[in-house]
Amino acid sequence: MELVNEADSTDNSQPSEIKTEDTTEHDDKPRPYLCTVCDKQFTSKDSLNEHKQIHSKEKLYTCGECEKSFSSQWALKRHRNIHTGKYKCRECGKCFSQSSNLAVHRRIHFGEKPFECSVCGKQFTQAGNRDVHRRIHSGEKPCKCRLCDKAFGTVVHLNLHMRVHTEYKPHKCHMCDMAFIKHKDLNIHMKVHSGGKTYKCLLCNKSFSYKSSLLTHKRQVHNNRKSCLCPYCGKMFKTDRYLKHHVRIHTGEKPFSCEHCSERFTMLAQLKKHLLKSYNEGT
């Protein structure tokens, strides 16, 4: 977890160049210390212990601007940089709490993916994401269930598994039998009943219930530029990502495997859908 340089804490001007004060999460150094709550990795045990304060239930320090609470004063101090605009992206205006997060964010605008998987060549904007991806190839499963000792490759898979041990879903829909662990998931679900479509496409006036659906619509319907050519069949695609997914049809590659059975999938979305279906059938 990066700390903001104390010498910069009173300077609210936009930095002339991006500096990364702490390279724990964004350089290419080995990070053997894993947070089992959020899957972040760190170079030292002290950095990991410092990071774990984020997950502490006691959050005594509250931001006066947005009322968000934090477990330590330094976390609150760093958070305030978002409101002051100290680390603001010149391309889109988004603000960050520290310069290292801004540096990683700006890679999105310039297409920079400096961290490459040595096995399959897939590239990532952050070293931590690359390291989590590597577990697909190595079979490493560092996230262990504290109730049954079953191990998983990522915290996402562990959290899905934990539902096996508990049926506690306090947020219940008053219009159907669905129940949810998180209140935000219930709010998303309620759109099914309300029919509310608050996200409107300015190009064709079509409306959507979810922002992600609107973005997908814009990309697939209104962006007709296809510049990525499949070397096997000549089919064209809009992005490298779509092309990579398509090429797996020809190569037979299925890099995403289920932790619970022997099924494998060409795309992560297919795996997530499979896991959710398995969970629903189990309940």
pLDDT in tens, 24-75: 344 566 777 888 777 778 888 887 877 777 776 677 788 888 888 887 788 8
Last residue of some domain: 64, 85, 112? 112
Could you give the number of structural domains in the chain? 2
CATH number of 275's domain? 3.30.160.60
* Predicted model pTM: 0.38
According to DSSP, residue 12 is labeled -
Provide the pLDDT for residue 80: 92
Provide the pLDDT for residue 151: 86
Domain span including residue 263: 225-283
pLDDT, one tens digit per residue, over 249-260 is 888 888 888 888
Q: Is residue 229 a contact partner of residue 240, using CB atoms and an 8 Å limit?
A: no
Last residue of some domain: 112, 137, 157? 112
Instruction: Output b/e per residue, 100-116; b: 16+ Cβ within 10 A.
Output: bbbbbbbbeeeeeeebe
Cβ neighbours, 10 Å, residue 39: 19
CATH number of 93's domain? 3.30.160
Q: Is residue 90 part of a domain?
A: yes
Q: Is residue 214 part of a domain?
A: no
Confidence check: pLDDT of 98 > 80: yes
Tokens for 227, please give them: 């510049």
Task: Give CB contacts under 8 A, 24+ apart, made by 119-122.
Answer: 120/255
Burial (Cβ within 10 Å: 0-12, 13-18, ≥19) of residue 14 = exposed
Provide the pLDDT for residue 27: 56
Q: Residue 271 — φ and ψ, nearest 5°?
A: -65, -45
Helices (H) and strands (E) in the chain, counts: 9, 18
Q: Is residue 208 part of a domain?
A: no
